[in-house]
Structure 1
Amino acid sequence: MKNKIPYYAVIFTSTQTDDIEGYSEMAEKMETLARQQEGFIGIESARNTVGITVSYWKSLEAIKNWKANTEHLLAQQKGREQWYNWYNVKICKVEREYEYEKNI
């Protein structure tokens, strides 16, 4: 994911309740909406016992604007009311990155 350094990562870690009706649809909708936001770079996600979603942004201002997006605010509220037992958000500045890919 080679991006212009530095950029920012929002790390969202969570555990879910047993009532996840509508969660997948909302997660898909939020990813589509995030991709349309100014400053969005990309997203990676994994879910098992603990879910981790990392979204990448060009600036802190872009993150602030995404957090304040009306549809995103509604999704956050629904998450607190229905889908999450716990979550944690970390905002990090990425100053270096590297990757490995096996040539098959």
Structure 2
Amino acid sequence: MSIAETPEPPYTAVIFTSVRSDRDEGYDQTAARMFALAARQPGYLGVESAHDPLGITVSYWVDAAAAAAWKRVAEHLVAQRRGRDAWYADYRVRVCTVGRDYGRRGPPPGDPGSEAPGMGTVRP
């Protein structure tokens, strides 16, 4: 997985932070299906996810309405219910508007053609 490409702000981020339970049945398949299904939704921009053991998944949407529409997709509602009932011991969802986005894109430092140290991209 790589860092999501996002447009100039503003856009919406949905941050899902979780701690898994001991139950695992069907989780990996459902998670893969939800990533694929989300990517086909109107207004979807991308996703970033990491787990070790705290899970943090951030999905990006053109606006809050697009994120809210994804929350209501029937197959996603079933997965959410299963997550609450079986897969997550603890979780939190946060929805926010991104007002500033900055960082570095390109080859790793030291690679031929990389930017000068400390240089990067800043967007309002």
Q: How many residues align?
A: 104
| In the alignment, structure 1 residue 43 sits paired with structure 2 residue 47 | yes
Which residue of structure 1 lines up, in the alignment, with residue 92 of structure 2?
88
C-alpha distance in structure 1 between counterparts of 2:101 and 2:8, whole Å: 10
| In the alignment, structure 1 residue 79 sits paired with structure 2 residue 83 | yes
Aligned amino acid, residue 14 of structure 2: V
C-alpha distance in structure 1 between counterparts of 2:79 and 2:85, whole Å: 10
Greater share of helix: 1
Which residue of structure 1 lines up, in the alignment, with residue 19 of structure 2?
15
Superposition CA RMSD, Å? 1.1
C-alpha distance in structure 2 between counterparts of 1:95 and 1:78, whole Å: 33
Residue identity over aligned pairs, in percent, reads 45
Which residue of structure 2 lines up, in the alignment, with residue 29 of structure 1?
33
Structure 1 residues without counterparts, runs of 5 or longer: none
C-alpha distance in structure 1 between counterparts of 2:53 and 2:68, whole Å: 28
TM-score by length of structure 2 reads: 0.80
Could you report, residue by residue, the CA deviation over 1:62-89 in whole angstroms, capped at 9, with x for unpaired residues? 0111001000000000101110001000
C-alpha distance in structure 1 between counterparts of 2:97 and 2:30, whole Å: 27
**Equivalent residue runs for 1:46-57 within 5 Å:** 46-57=50-61
C-alpha distance in structure 2 between counterparts of 1:92 and 1:60, whole Å: 8
Moved more, 92-101 or 71-80: 92-101
Deviation, 1:26, is 0.5
Deviation, 1:37, is 0.4
2:7 maps to which of 3, 8, 30? 3
Answer whether contact 2:8 2:101 (CA < 8 A) is retained.
no
Find runs of 4+ consecutive structure 1 residues off by over 6 angstroms: none
Structure 2 residues without counterparts, runs of 5 or longer: 112-124
